[in-house]
Structure 1
Amino acid sequence: MITEIATLRIDSAKSAEFEAAVAAAATYFKADAGCHGMSLEKVIEDPGVYNLRVLWETVEAHTVGFRGSDNFQQWRALAGPFFIEPPKVVHCETVGNYF
């Protein structure tokens, strides 16, 4: 399992609208066979910054499968207008769960 962490910067005055857009877009992630979950976290120290965490079967499930799909286009149509800079995306794999 791979975790995508996308750091998203928005205008903090539009937080409620952005959070609603991401909630609406969750169906597009859920519809993708390679996606196993997603969550949105708001950075406490900077209320205009969010981390979107998405669980993928593989990196390619995200970068090829999802990004090449209509589901990705729908996600970007809902959330993209809020971005004030391009998302910063990394893919991580868990190397230890300690408690």
Structure 2
Amino acid sequence: MITEIAELSIKPDSHDAFLAAVKEAVPLFKRAKGCTAMKLERLTERPDVYHLVISWETLENHTVDFRGSDDFQAWRGLVGGFFAEPPRVEHSATALVGF
């Protein structure tokens, strides 16, 4: 299991429209090969920044399958105009679970 964490800096005063666009995009992730979960978190200390957290079965499900799909283009079309800067994307794998 791979977790994608995308840090999204959003233009001020566009949060409501951005959230509506992400909600509209949920079906794109639901049908993506290997995507098992998706959530959007807003940072408390930096309210113009969100973390999009997506669980993938494999890294390639994100980097090859999804990014090479028409649905990725649709995703970027829905939300790309709200970005104040390019997203920063990192991937992680669980190293330890405490409880």
Pair in the same fold by TM > 0.5: yes
CA distance in 2, matches of 1:92, 1:79: 23
Amino acid at match of 2:32: D
Runs of 4+ in structure 1 deviating by more than 2 angstroms, as ranges, are: none
Aligned to 1:14: 14
Contact 1:12-1:47 within 8 A present in 2 as well:
no
Q: Does 1:64 align with 2:55?
A: no
Is 1:85 matched up with 2:79?
A: no
Counterparts of 1:38 and 1:12, CA distance in 2: 24
Paired residue type of 2:41: E
Say how many residue pairs are matched: 99
Q: Percent identity?
A: 53
Structure 2 unaligned regions, length at least 5: none
8 A Cα contact 1:3 1:93, kept in partner: yes
Distance in 1 between residues matched to 2:89 and 2:15, nearest whole Å? 20
Unaligned stretches of 5+ in structure 1? none
Deviations 1:38-58 (A, max 9, x none): 000000111110000000111
1:58-84 deviations in whole A, cap 9, x for unaligned? 111100000000110110000111011
2:10 and 2:82 in contact (8 A); partners too: yes
Q: TM-score scaled to structure 1, two decimals?
A: 0.97
- Using the TM superposition, give the Cα deviation of residue 13 of structure 1 relative to its aligned residue in structure 2, in angstroms: 1.1
TM-score normalised according to structure 2 size = 0.97
Deviation at 1:12, TM superposition (A): 3.0
Q: Secondary structure at the match of 1:37?
A: strand
Question: What secondary structure is seen at the aligned counterpart in 1 of 2:14?
Answer: helix
How far off its partner does 1:33 sit?
2.0
